[in-house]
Amino acid sequence: MTDYPFATEVITEVDLKSRVVELGQAISNDYLDRSPLFVVVLTGSVLFAADLVRNVEADSEVDFLGLNRFGEGGRIGIAMDLSAPVVDRNVIIVEDIVDTGLTLKVLRRMMTDRGAASVSTAALFDKTRRRVTDVPIEYRGFEVGDEFLVGYGLDWQGVYRNLRSIWAVMDIEAFVRDPKVLSKQLHSG
């Protein structure tokens, strides 16, 4: 794994891939007789969702939900709604990372209120220590620390979603000064 003073590679592409396969197998076992509807939360979860659904052996559908987040406190609005109702569907919310848990809590309630038959969550990363509200995660990829992570869908000011592995930001100031500080290093040859 690679280290720079401002960022460290913390999860390799190989480890990501094999964990996503395991999550797909767990979902396949649980949803043999129920077709899941994957509700993918834009934008960070798209890469994870694309790999996850390819490892699920059950008739699956995929839909997308775009959110607006309003500051602290978990207030969210819908920027882009699902294309179809979730009534009587077995929803699996696909999240990139659960931090305070507030977003996920609102989403689970939203799916239940809209009449989903069941609601569960697949989250690739879980910042357990930062949780402020109890919320279940049925399919959890990795428990991670408090560091801000980028790569594999996760961004810093829109950058780094395309990285194949996960990096932890070690020097926030360096990223504030120059959001592309890591990409300059990675692409410098």
Enumerate the active-site residues.
99
Q: Going residue by residue from 46 to 85, which x/- string records binding to ligand IMP, judged by CB under 6 A?
A: ----------------------------x-----------
Q: Is the dihedral of CA 133, 134, 135, 139 positive or negative?
A: positive
Q: How far apart are CA 16 and CA 83, in angstroms?
A: 29
101 binds ligand IMP, rule: CB under 6 A: yes
Q: How far apart are CA 146 and CA 130, in angstroms?
A: 7
> Is the separation of the CB atoms in 112 and 119 below 8 Å?
yes
Q: Going residue by residue from 7 to 46, which x/- string records binding to ligand IMP, judged by CB under 6 A?
A: -------------------------------------x--
Angle at 138 between CA 48 and CA 154, to 5 degrees: 25
Q: Which stretch binds ligand IMP (CB under 6 A): 1-9, 19-27, 51-59, 91-99?
A: 91-99
Q: Are strands 166-169 and 7-11 parallel, antiparallel or unpaired?
A: antiparallel
98 binds ligand IMP, rule: CB under 6 A: yes
> Is the separation of the CB atoms in 149 and 168 below 8 Å?
yes
Q: Going residue by residue from 132 to 151, which x/- string records binding to ligand IMP, judged by CB under 6 A?
A: ----------------xx--
Residues that bind ligand IMP (CB under 6 A): 44, 74, 95-104, 148-149, 154
